[in-house]
Amino acid sequence: MTKKTESRIVFWVFLAPVLFAFIMVMVIPFFLGSYYAFTNWTSSARVDNGLRFIGFKNFTDSLTDPSFLYSFGITFVYTILNMIAINVVAFALALLVTGNLRFKNVYRVGFFVPNLIGGIILGYIWQFIFNNAIPSLGSLIPALGFLADPDKLMLSKNTSALAAMVIVGAWQYAGYIMMIYVAAIENIPQELIEAAKIDGATPWIRLRAITIPLCAQAFTVTMFLTLVNSFKQFDVNVSLTSGGPSTMLMGQPILGTQLLALNIYNTAFISNKLSEAQARAFVFFLVLAIISIIQVYVNKRKEIEL
Amino acid sequence: MKAAQPRRPGTIVAEIVTALIFLLFLFPFLLVLINSAKTSFEVTQYPLALPTRWGNIVDNIVKIWTSESVRYPSSLLSSTIITAVSLILINVFSAMAGWALVRTKTKTSSVIFFIFVASMVIPFQIVMFPLLSWFRTVTVATGIRLLRTYQGIILSYIGFGAPLSIFMFHGFIKSIPLELEEAATIDGCHKHQIFFKIIFPILKPIQATVLVLNGIWIWNDYLLPLLVLGKGNDVMTIPLAVSNFAGAFVKQWDLILTAILMAMVPVIIFFLFAQKYIVKGMVAGAIK
């Protein structure tokens, strides 16, 4: 056996296990899905049983369905608010725990803990907080009596329920993003800060002129992570609000906090329109790809400016 | 240890503010703990009060432990098996693939690597429905059951977890000097021996990152087990079990919170032991 053949055999043998799994769960489903999106595929119309090609009908149906358009809008709003909330909280926490604090390692670990627990479990915990703990606070403290009003529960109205999801999202994710900022802040050369101090720069100026510009690369990473994760949010959506409460749009009842990922899931398993759900997933993917490319591009330009 | 620095008033304010935020951050977990020790009446009437009898927590834990919709011991075992086996296989297989892709400089090798990297932007939503029908087709054709089984979900985790893991191994292996392997070849080592005896041990820091990132994801994942394992299956993970229970016993917060507490305890214990690696691993994974 020549050296070259041995190398080639080793190459394929070493690659075989991942390649097999990857082809089975990614490549084949991806191509099947690209086809199914243009058919009348449902759980009854399977490949061997009445599957027909129907062109772009699934896409046009999706894009004229109020619930899908509404989910798009609300996912954008949620993503933007969540990105802002997570990053502001995370950066503020990072500044605090990189300071001269006695228990800073304890704080870091504590802020990180929510990130270890799955979104589905966190959502149930906060459902209890919003529906039981906070109203109880209202009945204990007369000045906060409005909290106990059953009509004013955070999860009972669309806008406040969305805000509730942002609170949970920020709480879950801020500790992780904080750790990335901490790594960036601790990489800033101490001499730079000392020199600025000697020149009489106030903490605020040091933050604006040194810390933020030198964290520019970290911002690109954190913005990307928070953008993608907020846009794909599913678990907290399911367990905190299940998409509710319902509301009306264009004469149709729709779920008021149903983000895109949940909309796709419900289209498939509640409305039983698998092929349309597949088309929606493609639209979801394209939009996500476009906005994340824009985000990375904008951040990279900002990196140079700073 | 540094000598204690003189503390200015500003620092003390920052310390107090941070400590308060810290308590606020962990308050939800405290609520879970105190309400797991209440009766259902107490939970709804006084969710913020301390429990009147801490012994209730034992009763509640026993109820969850024996509950038919949680099946705690079996769910914990399933979660552990799925996470552990997936992690071991992702780690070894991705390292092997990463090494093969770095050390083979052919066009095929670059194309395969590019496909792995490109696949990382594809959201799970786009493949999840066809995945189910494809698994069904495979079962019909070969008789091998993939839906509702360990092998199906572990295969899925390897496929979905491999691209990022390969990417991280690839980046690290590129920086290992080739001379190391050439020396071993001269000494008569075979290729596979070079990998398992020399390269794999060097990869320890990246292995830690790969294990942590994939471990947190797999342990907490909800959507993939929901689809591949399904509801009411013998094989059930902890997140599925909790959501199953919360769906079946709506508003029974004493028991739901106990189930949540029991779901969190193993993770928190594990975290306290491996804290340093976990935080490091996750940050390294993000920056890569």
Per-residue confidence (pLDDT) for residue B270, from 0 to 100: 87
| More confident position, A149 or A105 | A105
Which one, of A245, A227, A223, lies nearest residue A75 by Cα? A227
Q: Provide the 10 A C-beta neighbour count for residue B233.
A: 15
Report d(CA A73, CA A95) in Å as an integer.
33
Mean pLDDT score, A265-290: 93
Residues paired with residue A255 on neighbouring β-strands, in sequence order: A246
Burial of A202 by CB count in 10 Å (0-12 exposed, 13-18 middle, 19+ buried)?
A: exposed
Which one, of A165, A208, A170, lies nearest residue A93 by Cα? A170
Report d(CA B215, CA B165) in Å as an integer.
12
CB contact under 8 A, B271 and A117: no
Mean pLDDT score, A248-267: 88
CB contact under 8 A, B129 and A33: yes
Burial of A160 by CB count in 10 Å (0-12 exposed, 13-18 middle, 19+ buried)?
A: middle
Mean pLDDT score, A55-81: 93
Band of pLDDT at residue A249, cut at 50, 70 and 90: confident
Residue range A59-305 forms a domain whose CATH class is mainly alpha
Q: What was the ipTM of the complex prediction?
A: 0.91
Q: Which residues of A touch B220 (CB under 8 A)?
A: 116-121
CATH superfamily of B69-248: MetI-like (1.10.3720.10)
Per-chain mean pLDDT for chain A: 89
Q: Which residues of B touch A6 (CB under 8 A)?
A: 191
Q: Which residues of A touch B11 (CB under 8 A)?
A: 99-101
Band of pLDDT at residue A47, cut at 50, 70 and 90: low
Q: Are A218 and A141 in contact (CB under 8 A)?
A: no
Q: How far is A250 from chain B (nearest CA, A)?
A: 27
pLDDT, block means (10 residues), chain B with 288 residues: 56 90 94 93 89 91 90 94 97 96 93 93 92 92 93 97 94 89 85 89 91 92 94 90 89 92 91 81 71
pTM: 0.91
Q: Which amino acid, residue A241?
A: T
Mean pLDDT score, A2-30: 92
The token pair at B137 is 């087709």
The answer to whether residue A1 scores a pLDDT higher than 70 is no
Name the residue in chain B with its Cα closest to that of A224.
B286
Q: Are A230 and A83 in contact (CB under 8 A)?
A: yes
Q: Provide the 10 A C-beta neighbour count for residue B180.
A: 12
Of B7, B31, B195, the CB nearest to A133: B31
Which one, of B243, B238, B82, lies nearest residue B149 by Cα? B82
Q: Which residues of B touch A133 (CB under 8 A)?
A: 31, 47-48
The token pair at B171 is 């980046």
Q: Are A254 and A238 in contact (CB under 8 A)?
A: no
CB contact under 8 A, B125 and A238: no
The answer to whether residue A127 scores a pLDDT higher than 70 is yes
Mean pLDDT score, A141-148: 80
Name the residue in chain B with its Cα closest to that of A282.
B126
CB contact under 8 A, B104 and A11: yes
Which of B42, B83, B125, B136 has the most A C-beta neighbours within 10 Å, making it the best mutation to test the interface with A? B125
What are the sequence ranges of the domains in chain B? 9-65, 69-248
Highest mean pLDDT, choosing among A99-103, A266-270, B281-285: A266-270
- In Å, how far from its chain's centre is CA B16? 34
Burial of B1 by CB count in 10 Å (0-12 exposed, 13-18 middle, 19+ buried)?
A: exposed
Q: How far is A112 from chain B (nearest CA, A)?
A: 8
CB contact under 8 A, A26 and B159: yes
Per-residue confidence (pLDDT) for residue A262, from 0 to 100: 96
Residues paired with residue A246 on neighbouring β-strands, in sequence order: A255
Q: Which residues of A touch B20 (CB under 8 A)?
A: none
The answer to whether residue A252 scores a pLDDT higher than 90 is no
Of A7, A126, A129, the CB nearest to B104: A7
DSSP track, chain A: --HHHHHHHHHHHHHHHHHHHHIIIIIHHHHHHHHHTTB---SSS-TTTT--B-TTHHHHHHHT-HHHHHHHHHHHHHHHHHHHHHHHHHHHHHHHHTSS-TTHHHHHHHHHGGGGS-HHHHHHHHHHIIIIIHHHHHHHSGGGGGGG-GGG-GGGSHHHHHHHHHHHHHHHHHHHHHHHHHHHHHTS-HHHHHHHHHTT--HHHHIIIIIHHHTHHHHHHHHHHHHHHHHT--HHIIIIITT-SEEEETTEEEETT--HHHHHHHHHHTS--HHHHHHHHHHHHHHHHHHHHHHHHHHHHHHHH-
Report d(CA B85, CA B91) in Å as an integer.
10
Report d(CA B55, CA A9) in Å as an integer.
63
Per-residue confidence (pLDDT) for residue A206, from 0 to 100: 87
Mean pLDDT score, A30-34: 94
Of B14, B104, B124, the CB nearest to A96: B14
